[in-house]
Structure 1
Amino acid sequence: MSIKELAQNLKHKSFSSLYLLYGKEKYILDYTRQMIVQATLDEDSADFNKSTYDMEETPIETALEDAETLPFMGEYRVVIIQNPYFLTGSKAKVKVEHDLARLEAYLNNPSSQSIVIVDAPYEKLDERKKIVKLLKKQAELVHTDKMNEKALKDWIQHTAQQENVTITDEAAERLIQLQGDDLGLLINEVKKMALYVGDAGQIEPSTVDELISRSLENNVFTLVEHVVNRRIDQAFRIVYDLLKQNEEPIKLMALLARQFRIILQVKQLREQGFTEKKMASTLSLHPYAVKIASRQGNSFSDNELKTILIQAADADFKMKTGQMDKTLTLELFITELGKQNEHA
């Protein structure tokens, strides 16, 4: 079931006795759980009729006893079951005994006056287990995969609309580039920028650059962009800013080498006919990072990228063995990158 379908059902008071929320996108899990709770409980009875049980600390039968208790001063009781590790194939790190036969009996005959939400923050459940098969059969399912770029942009746009501002597509891309694919973090940043631009304002790429703090890796990402586009003065500006923040030249060199290695890998996989999605999976990267690396790769041949990686390894060796001053070695490496790109 999609979030949109679930929202429609809740709006029309069409509730299920059992919900299974699972996946690695924590923000969506939290958002969905909150949506169910708000739809089924009123403010006056929420304190009496909502309970949360952590399966790493409490036996399942304790939560089920609560689910079988009649609601107090309300129509429904909501019982949230968190961290049900027994639904996965991993071994428990804790010693809590769970009566899964008791859970199986409840799943076959759930209380009509209780809403049980099984909150499983795992990428996969163990489909071989009888209890997993039964739960997926009896419950309404909401599965939250890690989001692709389009889905992230949709949430960013949706959040901007809720805050009564607009955000350009370029600004949304820039935000993802700087902050990665943590949806909760992206949404918080959109809300902060909405306050900055004011009611009915528009968030531009310049807004993102001005307000969003950059991680070290994102600064290196931008540094490579400057090199690719022959903006060597701006590249050095980033380098000197990072050095003022006491970042080690050796670390900066390693991150630069890593980014050029990714560009080469993406370029080679693209030549083999891999899609961006397949490349992202193969290289364990976010699809957006693959998209940018693919674009950056257009400015270099395979041989040029291999030469750059050899030069990076040589510079790294000179830094670590004290053959040259570390900052000077980094400066010479970036200067040489600019010269090579001019001849591309």
Structure 2
Amino acid sequence: MIFNVWKDIQNKKVQPVYLLVGEESFLMQETLRHIVQASLLEEEKDFNLSVYDMEETPVETAIEDAETLPFMGEKRVVIIKNSVFLTSEKKKEKLEHRVEKLEQYINSPAPYTIVVFVAPYEKLDERKKITKLLKKQSVVIEMKSLSDDEAIKWMLNVAQEQRVELEKAAVEQLLVLTAGDLMAIHQELQKLSTYVGEGGIISVEAVNLLVARTLEQNIFDLIEHVIYRRSKEALQIFYDLLKNNEEPIKILSLLVTQFRLILQVKELSTVGYGQQQIASTVKVHPFRVKLALQQARLFQTEELAHILMELAEADYEMKTGKKDKQLLLELFLLKLFKND
């Protein structure tokens, strides 16, 4: 859906009112960029682009601006951020919004203005009259995590814009190293495109060379080595993390987070939940769920529960200072291999 809207916008098929809903901030930024780019020339932005924050400014002020003729151009763009009046949230501030003024505008928008309502919330209050009206009269775009296929399609489009090619293996490795984070993928693709140059091919070797592994990714790899009983490789990652001054308690915390996720996705998949449903339920990115599902198949539920108990005990001993922090983690890893 979002790619179709982007395509229409890029083809100058811009609508008078948009409503962007959801918590995927990168998609929100990209959609706004497409709208502004398609509507205004660079030199027009100073005069005809306005941004209002509804936590600081009443909505009627933004609407008055939307009704004002553009200056030295054909179009005006008004971005209305944090449209809290569309939600059930109760704010401490005494700022009141005259939504009746907004209702009038939505029913008869100015032909020379593009108004974009930004609602970075999981859901809106569907009971409100203004929410119903806005959803009916605007182009609604949901800002939610992309599926694997959508993410790959988007990555290939970005590569095409940069005039480079992406190998299939490079796509998959980039998804793994970034855990599907769109902002990180975009930044890394720009870096990789500069590295290979126009007309170049981004290979998996280039991705491994230039894309830094996050602490979370190192923990994922460590667990992967544990699963396949590669003790040497697992311990090597652990010692490398310590050399990079990563705190043992932070490493322990991430181990707990990952093993808990593996247990959650295993239990949810057992009762028939799909990848997207699991991601929504446990509130993590779908790609992280996909990776956790792969690991979950290699554990028994009882084994995962036992590992989490062991980690809880290590956490207690670490925080009470009963044993050396590094030694506790080493003993935990060695115990995992001993259980083979």
What is the TM-score of this pair, normalised by structure 2?
A: 0.89
| Matches of 1:72 and 1:180, distance apart in 2 | 44
State the partner residue of 2:17. Answer: 18
SS at match of 1:37: helix
Q: Against the structure 1 CA distance between its residues 110 and 285, is the aligned structure 2 distance closer, same or farther, given a 3 Å change threshold?
A: closer
State the partner residue of 1:94. Answer: 93
1:214-253 alignment runs, 5 A limit: 214-253=213-252
Q: Against the structure 1 CA distance between its residues 9 and 291, is the aligned structure 2 distance closer, same or farther, given a 3 Å change threshold?
A: closer
Quote how far apart the aligned CAs of 1:201 are: 3.0
State the partner residue of 2:297. Answer: 298
SS at match of 1:234: helix
RMSD between superposed Cα atoms in Å: 2.4
Q: Against the structure 1 CA distance between its residues 165 and 272, is the aligned structure 2 distance closer, same or farther, given a 3 Å change threshold?
A: same
Q: Can you list the C-alpha shifts for 1:83-129, whole angstroms capped at 9, x where unaligned?
A: 22111111124332221111111112222222222222222221111
Quote how far apart the aligned CAs of 1:82 are: 1.6
Q: Is the 8 A contact 1:193 1:207 kept in 2?
A: yes
Q: Is the 8 A contact 2:51 2:79 kept in 1?
A: yes
State the partner residue of 1:273. Answer: 272
| Matches of 2:312 and 2:44, distance apart in 1 | 64
Amino acid at match of 2:8: Q
Quote how far apart the aligned CAs of 1:220 are: 0.9
1:123-134 alignment runs, 5 A limit: 123-134=122-133
Amino acid at match of 2:52: Y
Q: Against the structure 1 CA distance between its residues 307 and 2, is the aligned structure 2 distance closer, same or farther, given a 3 Å change threshold?
A: closer
State the partner residue of 1:334. Answer: 333
Aligned residues: 340
SS at match of 2:339: helix
Q: Is the 8 A contact 1:3 1:142 kept in 2?
A: no
Q: Is the 8 A contact 1:249 1:326 kept in 2?
A: yes
Q: Is the 8 A contact 2:145 2:285 kept in 1?
A: no
SS at match of 2:110: coil
Q: Which moved more, 1:206-215 or 1:218-227?
A: 206-215
| Matches of 1:314 and 1:82, distance apart in 2 | 46
Amino acid at match of 1:198: G
State the partner residue of 2:30. Answer: 31
State the partner residue of 1:55. Answer: 54
Q: Which moved more, 1:202-211 or 1:239-248?
A: 202-211
Amino acid at match of 1:35: H
| Matches of 1:324 and 1:287, distance apart in 2 | 37
State the partner residue of 2:7. Answer: 7
Amino acid at match of 1:199: E
| Matches of 1:340 and 1:266, distance apart in 2 | 23
Q: Against the structure 1 CA distance between its residues 93 and 183, is the aligned structure 2 distance closer, same or farther, given a 3 Å change threshold?
A: farther
SS at match of 1:57: coil
| Matches of 2:219 and 2:233, distance apart in 1 | 12
| Matches of 1:42 and 1:316, distance apart in 2 | 57
Greater than 6 Å deviation, 4+ residue runs: none
| Matches of 1:6 and 1:186, distance apart in 2 | 19
| Matches of 2:193 and 2:98, distance apart in 1 | 49
Quote how far apart the aligned CAs of 1:6 are: 4.9
**Alignment identity in percent?**
48
Amino acid at match of 2:333: I
Q: Against the structure 1 CA distance between its residues 200 and 232, is the aligned structure 2 distance closer, same or farther, given a 3 Å change threshold?
A: farther
Quote how far apart the aligned CAs of 1:9 are: 5.6
Q: Is the 8 A contact 1:59 1:97 kept in 2?
A: yes
Q: Against the structure 1 CA distance between its residues 328 and 116, is the aligned structure 2 distance closer, same or farther, given a 3 Å change threshold?
A: closer
State the partner residue of 1:166. Answer: 165
Give 5+ residue unaligned stretches, structure 1: none
State the partner residue of 2:206. Answer: 207
Q: Against the structure 1 CA distance between its residues 298 and 79, is the aligned structure 2 distance closer, same or farther, given a 3 Å change threshold?
A: closer
